Amino acid sequence: MIKVMLVDDDAPMLKYLSKLLPWQEMGLEVVATAQSSKRALHQFYEIPVDIVITDIGMPHMDGLELVTEIKRSNPHVRVIFLTCHEDFKFARKAVQLQADDYLIKDELTEAQLRKSLIKAIDELKEVQEKIGESTYKQELMKNKGVLKHQFFKQITLDLATDEIVVVGRRMGIDWKHSHFFMALGYLHMDSLLEQYRYEDEKLLLYAIENISEELEIGSNHVTTFLDPNFHFVCLLNYQPDISQNTQEQFLSYLSQLQTKIKEFIKVKISVYAAAPFRGVDGIRLNYKQMKQWNHGSYYNDTDLGQANIHTESPLWSMDEQLLSEDWNLISQGMKEKRLEKVTLSLNSIELKARELQLDPVHFKRKCSQRIHSLELENRMPSDTSFHTALLKSNRLDETMQMMLFKMTEIQTSNSEIAFQKTPKLQKIDQYILEHLNENISLVDIAEHLYLNPSYLSRNFKEETGMNFTDYVHLYKMKLACQMVKNKQANIELIGLKLGYQERTYFSKIFKKYVGVSPKDYR
């Protein structure tokens, strides 16, 4: 209901106005009446109203002064003035205050007031629509990324209903044509290594989204979405035209996109286009097929082209025995600090993995596990962001480049040398070894070394680059790996020997620092 306030210093006039119209039938409700401008202003601040019908000639503060104050608080309130005189001065002021009408009391009829109120109601609705649209646009700009993500999720998980299409149109995604091209792209994680951190991936994908939507492709427009797996999807909506080769235009657009991204943000992307399809409903199926194709193209060397989404998924091999010698050579190369030996072994692993067509998911997990082991051996905390990025790598060459970069980083680290040269750390290692089955705290070590715990905590962090808890867990997990691998005891007993009273907690810590569960590591 639209709320109305009646103001007049004449009580009979207020009563007359209250009964002059069937207010509720018109969608109106008289929520306040006042016999003075001061009282009216007080009520206005307490009860929000949409329309004010007020007399002009009132003592102390007239109706014009009242409306001036009301408009300062809410400029969208509609106003109808009542007066006893046809005074031009009053009428001019009423116009300045954007009043909807200026009515003479002696000539006032139901029809006149009804007509004025209908005009005020129409003006009010128009203003409210504009405010609503403005608010929606502000919210859209503020939450555009989230709303686009929700829209994309809906059209790829459910059938595209008319309501969903309307939601897209309100966001500026107006697919007027019958046909679509879809392309699936991803950011090469190894290309981040020189200038960015792995954690920057999401921001870089937003940059890719912006660049892609600024590029032109004839009279058509490409809409780009980011999916939950950190891929990006380009959708071209077009109308078939025998005079144009839209597929060629789309591939040219994707090539330009690669160039622009390399130029502006200095990273590499791969992007592949599927065959055209018809209708918004086709987005869901094609997106699913594109993801399946991408998973099956782990050993694909191209970074731009056509995706044949109708090919059967490869039959992956799980036999990794032929890689064992190469992994051992890498371990030797890392201990000997011979990078050339590590590089040659990684090249050999890459060739064999490609030849055997090893299962990508299993192979990447094995690579992650090897890096976890090297981190443990070198007393380095696990680089969680690296392992997350490694497991998300889309192509074999990307995986291997990340492996080489990380191994080079570990090998050039002087952490192991620093530990060997510090007598205090040697004493700490000895204490941990002698109390393996205990839950060792910093206070225990401080008492053993006759040091203040606060001083030891600060000094330990400066010397090792990690906190004491991580250091103890890393020390114990290195031993745990040897014990699990050599099958010296069952997992529960190994945990107890190392001071972990609960198997679940031991498994949790093992997975955190080694990357896999004790069972999978064995």
Same domain assignment for residues 130 and 149: no
Same domain assignment for residues 123 and 214: no
Question: At residue 276, does pLDDT exceed 80?
Answer: yes
Q: What is this structure's pTM?
A: 0.60
Helix axes 468-485, 453-464, angle to 10 degrees: 60
Give the residue numbers spanning the domain of 194: 145-306
Same domain assignment for residues 167 and 269: yes
Structural domain count of the chain:
4
How far, CA to CA in Å, does 342 sit from each of 194, 325, 327, 354, 378? 21, 12, 9, 18, 16
Same domain assignment for residues 129 and 158: no
Question: At residue 182, does pLDDT exceed 50?
Answer: yes
Same domain assignment for residues 33 and 133: yes
Question: At residue 433, does pLDDT exceed 70?
Answer: yes
Same domain assignment for residues 277 and 351: no
Same domain assignment for residues 328 and 461: no
Same domain assignment for residues 403 and 450: no
Q: Which residues are CB-neighbours of 464 under 8 A, at least 6 positions away?
A: 379, 415, 418, 419, 425, 471
Q: What is the mean pLDDT of residues 65-91?
A: 78
Radius of gyration of the chain (CA): 37
Q: What is the rounded CA–CA span in Å between residue 505 and residue 519?
A: 14
Same domain assignment for residues 384 and 425: no
The answer as to whether 314 is a domain residue is: no
Q: Which residues are CB-neighbours of 230 under 8 A, at least 6 positions away?
A: 186, 187, 201, 202, 205, 392
Query: Where is the domain boundary, 86, 114, 139?
Result: 139
Same domain assignment for residues 254 and 194: yes
The CATH number of residue 173's host domain is 3.30.70.270
127-141, 176-190, 364-378: range with lowest mean pLDDT:
127-141
Same domain assignment for residues 409 and 426: no
Give residue 262's identity as a one-letter amino acid code.
K
Q: What is the rounded CA–CA span in Å between residue 52 and residue 5?
A: 5
Q: What is the rounded CA–CA span in Å between residue 396 and residue 359?
A: 11
Is residue 480 within 8 A of residue 518, CB to CB? The reply is: yes
Query: Where is the domain boundary, 85, 108, 139?
Result: 139
The answer as to whether 163 is a domain residue is: yes
pLDDT digits (tens, 9 = 90+) for 210-233: 899 888 887 788 999 998 777 899
Question: What are the start-end ranges of the H helices in 47-109?
Answer: 63-73, 88-96
Same domain assignment for residues 400 and 422: no
The CATH number of residue 482's host domain is 1.10.10.60
Is residue 405 within 8 A of residue 190, CB to CB? The reply is: yes
From edge to edge, which strands make up the β-sheet containing 101-104? 28-34, 2-7, 51-55, 78-83, 101-104
Report the residue count for the chain: 522
Query: Where is the domain boundary, 364, 397, 413?
Result: 413
pLDDT digits (tens, 9 = 90+) for 85-141: 655 455 556 555 667 788 888 788 899 899 989 988 988 888 777 766 555 555 555
